Amino acid sequence: MSPRAAWRLEAAGFGPVHDHAAGKTDWSAADLPSCCQAPEQHLPLRIGQVSTAGHEYGRHEVSGAMVVAERCGPARVLARREQHSHRREREVLDMRRLRPSSEAEMVALFLRTELPAARFRDTLQALMDQAGWPESLVTAPNLDDPAENQAREQLLTAHRGYGTRTGLFDGFPHDVRWEWMAITPAKLATVRYIDYDYWVELSGGTRLAADAAPRIRAGVAPFGVSSDWALGMAQAVADGARFPPLILVTTGASGNLVVLEGHARLTAYMLRPDRLPPELEVLVGSSPGMAD
């Protein structure tokens, strides 16, 4: 089963999902059940079908557990069925799991993206100078170095309140699962801004960058702040400029997506959605405790 298929199953309400990488031969050698056989202790057995990434899988539900097998071959995925939702099935079509990530990678990306920004550069540089950290801690992160990861977390805490769960990260949950995802422009149009006065006003109260776009073209200036910056970034998008990935958060597969880092880039994308590729790579953090 591909990682994409596993994501589709999880998003459809089956989880946790495990990919048996050793393959069918290993599964059969271990005398584990397939859709064409079931040990007596697993009865009663109910059989259904679930379509994943264009393939049909046999499904065994055993006392709340489920074995999913490709057609009638050995079972390859074990999962517990939680909640089935057609909405989840539809939404996952607009997002595709690429690979797992980590808290350390999120912290590194967040800092690497904010360091060049005029609004944050001086503050971040001063914090690094004060701690004796080189700029390469942010510009060339080594995620395999625990000491570096700890230093970056301390830097993001001093800069944005990450470790103390204050400032931007007030109430941010500790059990966030980070993954790299591919998102379509249509799904990107549903991503919401954080609940911050400027972005709420820019979008006309909806917190959707898609709603902010026509307001920006009409000359809206929230709290007297010109929106020309967005038009300039939108032109860069139209000219083919490449920007760092957005960092998004959600409560889960059926929850709203909210931008944690990248509000300006998201706005520029919605001003020129016609210039976006079929998919964009984004870093997504999910937790049931995430505020939306």
Place of tokens 């994308």: 269
The phi-psi region of residue 54 (left if phi > 0; otherwise alpha if psi is between -120 and 50; otherwise beta) is left
Q: How far apart are CA 76 and CA 32, in angstroms?
A: 10
User: What is the mean predicted confidence (pLDDT) over 147-171?
Assistant: 96
User: Computed from CA positions of residues 90, 96, 101, 107, in that sequence, does the dihedral angle turn out positive or negative?
Assistant: negative
Instruction: Flag whether pLDDT at 42 surpasses 70.
Output: no
Record the tokens describing residue 192, joined without a space: 């919401």
More confident residue, 25 or 228: 228
User: What is the mean predicted confidence (pLDDT) over 1-27?
Assistant: 51
Q: Give the model's pLDDT for residue 94.
A: 79
Residues 48-94 have pLDDT tens digits of: 333 333 333 333 333 333 333 333 333 333 333 334 444 443 444 57
Q: Give the model's pLDDT for residue 154.
A: 97
In contact, 105 and 25? CB cutoff 8 Å: no
Q: How far apart are CA 81 and CA 43, in angstroms?
A: 17
Q: Among 42-56, 110-124, 191-205, where is mean pLDDT lowest?
A: 42-56
Domain map of the chain by residue range? 3-85, 94-292
Local confidence band at 108 (pLDDT 50, 70, 90 cut-offs) = very high
User: What is the mean predicted confidence (pLDDT) over 223-249?
Assistant: 95
Q: Give me the percent of the chain exceeding a pLDDT of 70.
A: 68
Residues 117-151 have pLDDT tens digits of: 989 999 999 999 999 999 999 999 999 999 999 99
In contact, 22 and 14? CB cutoff 8 Å: no
Q: Give the model's pLDDT for residue 253.
A: 80
Least Cα distance to 148 among 112, 119, 100 occurs for: 112
Supply the mean pLDDT for the chain: 78
